Structure 1
Amino acid sequence: MTRTVMFLKKGVFFMKADRLIKILLLLQHGEKVSTRALSEELEVSERTIHRDMESLSAAGIPVYAERGAAGGWKLVDNWKQRLSWLKEKEVMALFLPHADKVMKDLDMGISSSEIRDKLLLSVPGETKESAGKLWERIHVDMGTWKSSTSETLPAMDVIKEAVMNDTKVKVTYEKANGDVKESIIKPLGLVAKSSTWYVVLLNEADQFRSYRMDRIKACSSLEEPFERPEDFTLAEYWEASKKKFTKSLPEYAVRIVASPIALQRIQFTGRFVRTTYQGEEREDGWTELELSFNSEEEALGFIVGFGDQVKVCSPVSLQDKVRERAEEIIELYK
């Protein structure tokens, strides 16, 4: 019962804090706003608005009421709480567009444009124009080229709550090889890697692991708290984990010469191949490259797809495999 009352009090507190911020933002436009208009905008009673104004005044914000038919609430001398303690580049950094997909996946209930509009009210005048231009000229898109309506993450709500509250979760997880395992995890943080979400966690043996959120087939909160490692930093762990994973990947090096058309495609397709060396363009227009793949089979499929626009120089074994694959294709279409 006590715990329920505590959560209710917290909820009321955050609702009021959010309402006070909204009132302040409305008043920062510099015009008078009536009690009725505020109550309708915020969906509370006029009496609640009067109490909110008393709270703002007690917090040191100079609000006052003008009486009469044309009266309303106003800030003294167009007072504004500006972001004046930040340097210009720091203010500009706040205006880098946010990824709407991330906020949607996390169910934040707000768009990047709403954040921009609220921030603009608090920016010094000399920075406002530059901040607006930054937002208009840079866009962050973390979705895939072919977004699907089925890109939902059923486990997100449960995992997000567990991350924020340090509570254990029971999950059913499908590995890359198709094996399915049920276990109890301790979620430490969420990471958005491009358009893919991961949860960094401690498993039942207290070992650090990273699970893809879309492979969690079922989960339920146990509401059992756990002790978060004191020296754990999510960003540092992720960067170290990423470097370790990259080093563990197998490398298969291939030396080729590519036509101008193939060269453009190879430079564009960075997802499947990494270019480790590029020579100067030859007299015939072709360019020598060294490419790195995860496996021979991956290299074979990639190179055959270019037809007569790419020639393998080494290894010789791959030349033989390309020739065999080409003969198989010819046989298929006879």
Structure 2
Amino acid sequence: MKIDRLISIIMVLLNYERVSAIKLAKMFEVSPRTIYRDIETISLAGIPIVTHNGVNGGISIMQEYKIDKKLFTVSDISTLLMGLASVSTTLSNKEIIGTLEKVKSLLPKEQFRDIELKSNQITVDLTTWMGNKSFQPNLEKIKKALSDSKYLLFEYYGVNREKDKRCIEPYKLVLKERNWYLQGYCTLREDFRVFKLSRISNLEILESTFVPREFQAKPLDGSGWIDKRLITTKLLVDWSLREQMVERCGEENIEPYGNDKFIVDFPFVEDDFGYNILMGFGDKCECLAPENVRIELINRIKKLLHVYGN
């Protein structure tokens, strides 16, 4: 029995005067017998359920029951639809599409157009223009393993470029700064670890299941590892990069310099990834300090020039 289905049934009954068990069964993709069991559970929880026999019969909540049937405002439902639509761009599957349609089916007819208009005013699309075609299948495998508490087996490239096999208990999937991360218990390291999906290959779900252990999600804010390596660089950047700098550094770390440039205090980790970020800004950015970072950038630019010079 799913608690989310019970809550959804209550919401349907609060929005409609009377709904048949068959209609509820179709809406939630279960059998009428399951719906009747759910209705019994809802009734035992203290919510007064009324059943009506006959051609126009169905299930309803007693009219005098003290719950405001306008539990969701137009703004609330618009926000729900925007959130679901945003998730569907990244985890597009039948479940989310079905959920979108179910939420839409709850809308009062007289407010449908207004809510649909508001929900379409903002779109959050987290997908890339061109991406790895294997990501979506891997995401679906991970979601299934999370749902069924099954082990995941895969090959993983570490930061040292070495590849080893990992078997983990998956616990959480996280999308952060356009990268997917999987948090789980690694049987090799006998500890909780975070795995970047772009470093995972040959992913498969094992038949064996595990008993979920106590899990506390690791904050992906760099605490404990990135923050210890962070230094501040001073950059001279062109106006065209201002938006990117505001997103990465915050308005308070940007100062005007002349008519079309800015001085930026930029957080930086001195590794390949960090240098690639700075070099990605091209000729619109110059590193002023510290001196060792500036020198390393010059050396990397010379190597790049040598590659293209040949």
Whether the TM-score (by the shorter chain) exceeds 0.5 is yes
Cα distance in 1 between the residues matched to 2:235 and 2:34: 75
Checking the alignment, whether the CA contact within 8 Å between 2:25 and 2:32 is kept in structure 1 is no
| Equivalent position amino acid for 1:243 in 2 | S
Residue 130 of structure 1 and its aligned partner are, at CA, apart by 9.0
CA drift at 1:211: 1.2
- The one of 175, 191, 213 equivalent to 2:197 is 213
- Within 5 Å, give how 1:1-334 maps onto structure 2: 25=12, 28-30=15-17, 38=23, 56=39, 59=43, 60-67=48-55, 71=56, 73=58, 75=60, 95=80, 97-98=83-84, 99-104=87-92, 108-111=95-98, 113-118=100-105, 120=107, 135-144=119-128, 146-148=129-131, 150-203=133-186, 204-214=188-198, 215-226=200-211, 228-229=213-214, 232-234=215-217, 237-239=218-220, 242-251=222-231, 253-256=233-236, 258=237, 262-268=238-244, 274=249, 277-282=253-258, 284-295=259-270, 297-298=275-276, 301-302=279-280, 304-306=282-284, 313-315=288-290, 318=294, 322=298, 325=301
CA apart distance, 1:247: 0.8
Q: Distance in 1 between matches of 2:304 and 2:25?
A: 73
Distance 1:65 1:207, change over 3 A: same
> Secondary structure at 1:114's aligned position in 2?
helix
CA distance in 2, matches of 1:292, 1:52: 55
Q: Tell me the TM-score normalised to structure 1 length.
A: 0.60
What is the TM-score of this pair, normalised by structure 2? 0.64
Q: Indicate if the aligned counterparts of 1:200 and 1:208 stay in contact, CA closer than 8 A.
A: yes
Q: 1:22 to 1:228 in 2, by over 3 A?
A: closer
Distance, in Å, in 1 between the alignment partners of 2:173 and 2:279 is 34
Query: Alpha carbons of 1:178 and 1:89: their partners in 2 closer, same or farther (altered >3 Å)?
Result: farther
Structure 1 residues 200, 23: CA separation in 2 closer, same or farther (over 3 Å shift)? closer
1:38 & 1:324 partners in 2: Cα distance?
A: 65
Q: 1:87 & 1:29 partners in 2: Cα distance? A: 14
Q: Is the 8 A contact 2:148 2:209 kept in 1?
A: no
Paired letter, 2:88: D
Cα distance in structure 2, aligned partners of 1:187 and 1:88: 37
Work out which of the two has the higher radius of gyration on C-alpha atoms and give 1 or 2: 1
Deviation at 1:197, TM superposition (A): 2.6
CA drift of 1:300 comes to 6.3
Whether contact under 8 Å (2:184, 2:193) holds in the other structure is: yes
Q: How much identity, in percent, do the aligned residues show?
A: 12
Tell me which amino acid in the other structure corresponds to 2:204.
C
Look up the equivalent residue of 2:263 and give its one-letter code: E
* DSSP 3-state at the match of 2:181: strand
Structure 1: which amino acid aligns with 2:123? H
**Separation (CA, whole Å) in 1 of partners of 2:113 and 2:92:** 28
Structure 2 unaligned blocks of 5 or more: none
CA-to-partner distance for each residue in 1:252-287, whole Å, 9 max, x for gaps?
61342x4xxx2232433678x6477322443x5543
Deviation at 1:97, TM superposition (A): 1.9
Q: Is the 8 A contact 1:30 1:75 kept in 2?
A: yes
User: Which amino acid is the alignment partner of residue 264 of structure 1?
Assistant: S
